[in-house]
Structure 1
Amino acid sequence: MPHRILTVDDSRTIRMIVKNAFKEYECELYEAENGRDGLALASEIKPDLVILDITMPVMTGIEMLGKMMENADLKSTAVIMLTAESGRDNVMNIVKMGVKDYIVKPFKGEQLIERVKLILNDLKPRIDLSTNNGQRANGTLFSVKGDIVILTLPPKMTRNIASDIEEQVKAKIGHMNEAGVRKFILNLSSVDHLSMTTMQSVLALLALCVRAKLLIRLAATGIQAEALKSFKETNAIPTKLSIEEAITDFFPRAC
């Protein structure tokens, strides 16, 4: 289940920095512009982490934190305090409040993520992110079904496209490893014909997946499935005639 993260800050700029920082991670983001609204929202959603500004109108961050400490459902919630002052006395006061960490404004999204990962150490990147490179060949190449990553090859493969896709797969495998995802489907059914360039690319992609110890399935047309039997690398991998069949094959039937 994705982590719930609540940002409470009267600055729209700060809230946007936080939002952009987490866009590549599996989490649900909520925000409020003052302590009163933040406390009400926290009581409703029970966040895993609150990123809380000290100085706000209506109810300050310190006042909101005090209310959270009095609430049995919220008192153990992790809090990162945002402050504009870095002086020793201010830092000591923040530490005494019982918060997990603090960040001095201004800060960058990368700095925030580093701090958050120390608290939410199982924060996972999104595995369905598409990079700009991922749009080059023929729309979005990657899709995700639950915990299964699907790569659909474009109708025509050139050496440049094949090289580009291999780089994307390397990056995607890194994301999958971080997210603890191992199921991978290589979908060939959109490919016009299995040319030498296409097969070289397929074998290279499968080699990357094997080295990463992924669970692999192939989706192909009937003609493609027959052709794949002549290669020892693909003959050993389960090949199905649709993506749906390939997905189902990951889950053994109950006896």
Structure 2
Amino acid sequence: MSLMPPRILLVEDERAQRELLTYNLEAEGFEVVSAENGEDAMMTIAEVMPDLVILDWMMPRMSGIEVCRQLKARSDTRDIPVIMLSARSEEVDAVRGLDTGADDYVIKPYSLRELMARVRTQLRRTRPAAAGMVLTFGDITLDPERHRASRSDLDLKLGPTEFRLLLTLMEKPGRVFSRAQLLDLVWGPAIFVDARTVDVHIARLRKALAQHGGPDPIRTVRGTGYALG
């Protein structure tokens, strides 16, 4: 099973700009979901959690500033990187955008190459595996490019789904994932399987992680889901 591409939510009210950015982001290998205003963006996030948000400042019904403020105020979305796009070039506007919680501020018109570079910079922080970085948690190491996992320097035998589960948990250690979130991230939003399937594969992953001994690193959060550590 291949690594799920990073999912980007693009919030832009100008259709031509939205289509241009979607085309270029998908050409870079990203999954793109889009919204044409702030209210639609918030509804989209409630259904499909993105890895990064590209957010236009000036939009009808709800401004990009207000969307960013709401995202950064919520515990489940505050860590999602937000790149703000704006025609406002004054320093005071950039400071206001960043003070609201935006992780980056890009002034229109901008270079597509520069924007893509900034997207990758933000994703290296929140989706390190997608950038090919080796992940570690305690004595567990996972190399997404070589598709290898080890514990205490001893190789682990993992099925493709268990590998994806471990990768997802290791990218955000300590974060509690619901079964629905794991289904979305590991199996994909277009695959329909029972939520109990997650429990079966978590049990398999736990067994695989115990091949060479050591404590169980996966925590069950009753009524919610699972976390690493």
Matched, 1:98 2:63: no
**Deviation (angstroms), 1:181:** 6.8
Residue 6 of structure 2 contacts residue 31 of structure 2 at CA under 8 Å; is this kept in 1?
A: yes
**Deviation (angstroms), 1:49:** 0.3
**Deviation (angstroms), 1:86:** 1.1
What is the TM-score with the length of structure 1 in the denominator?
Answer: 0.47
Residue 25 of structure 1 contacts residue 124 of structure 1 at CA under 8 Å; is this kept in 2?
A: no
Of the candidates 170, 180, 202, which is equivalent to residue 145 of structure 2? 180
Task: Work out which of the two has the higher radius of gyration on C-alpha atoms and give 1 or 2.
Answer: 1
2:32 counterpart SS class: strand
Distance 1:107 1:42, change over 3 A: same
- Report what 1:113 is aligned to: 116
Cα distance in 1 for partners of 2:111, 2:20 equals 7
What amino acid is aligned across from residue 180 of structure 1 in structure 2? E
Residue 51 of structure 1 contacts residue 82 of structure 1 at CA under 8 Å; is this kept in 2?
A: yes
Aligned-pair Cα RMSD in Å? 2.1
Structure 1 residue ranges without an equivalent (≥5) = 126-178, 183-255
Distance 1:14 1:124, change over 3 A: farther
- Report what 1:187 is aligned to: none
Of the candidates 82, 90, 104, which is equivalent to residue 85 of structure 2? 82
Correspondence 1:47-58 to 2 at 5 A: 47-58=50-61
Correspondence 1:127-138 to 2 at 5 A: none
Correspondence 1:57-72 to 2 at 5 A: 57-72=60-75
Identity of aligned residues (%): 35
Cα distance in 2 for partners of 1:22, 1:62 equals 23
Correspondence 1:20-59 to 2 at 5 A: 20-59=23-62
1:120 counterpart SS class: helix
Render the CA deviation track for 1:187-242: whole Å, top value 9, x for unaligned. Answer: xxxxxxxxxxxxxxxxxxxxxxxxxxxxxxxxxxxxxxxxxxxxxxxxxxxxxxxx
What is the TM-score with the length of structure 2 in the denominator?
Answer: 0.52
**Deviation (angstroms), 1:28:** 1.3
